[in-house]
Amino acid sequence: MAEKHEGNYDQLEGLSVRVDDVIYMPTLDAPDDKPHPFVYFITILNESTERVRILGRKWVIREEGGEVTVVEGDGVVGQTPVLEPGEDFSYNSYHVTAVNAGVSGAFFGTTSAGSKVRVRMPDFELELPDWV
């Protein structure tokens, strides 16, 4: 069962998230009620002076029609990456929608000293191309 990422988390100066790209990818599998798959590419950067282990994430996807989906769970694409100072972790995954949507969220982890940290990712959009 996924750990709920609640409680007191500190912001760690130098820990950040970058959204590298978001691509509409109609060739991926998608259910009939959410036929629009988007692939997103994310990088978590550790430019702090502490080692950080990323333990989970919580994202909120708000579709234009009002539907809200919360994606919360342990790890990131099945991993709990450890980032030494100066290292980064990049991955990609995908989400399906019925219509355009906005995404916000954060990653959660711990430092080598045991402090709980949170890093927000920049909000991004899942926008259908004009040709759809």
Task: Please tell me the predicted confidence (pLDDT) of residue 2.
Answer: 41
Residue 7 placed within a domain: no
Residue 25 placed within a domain: yes
List all residues 6 or more positions away from 66 whose beta carbon is below 8 Å from its beta carbon: none
Task: Please tell me the predicted confidence (pLDDT) of residue 3.
Answer: 46
Domains in the chain: how many in total?
1
110: nearest Cα among 47, 42, 45, 55: 55
Q: Against a cut of 0.85, is the pTM above it?
A: yes
Full residue range of the structural domain in which residue 73 is found: 15-118
Residue 46 placed within a domain: yes
Task: Give the 3-state secondary structure of residue 6.
Answer: coil
Judge contact between 70 and 113, C-beta under 8 A: no
Residue 124 placed within a domain: no
* Digitized pLDDT (tens) for each residue of the chain, 132 residues in all: 344 555 688 899 999 999 999 999 999 999 999 999 999 999 999 999 999 999 999 999 999 999 999 999 999 999 999 999 999 999 999 999 999 999 999 999 999 999 999 999 999 999 999 998
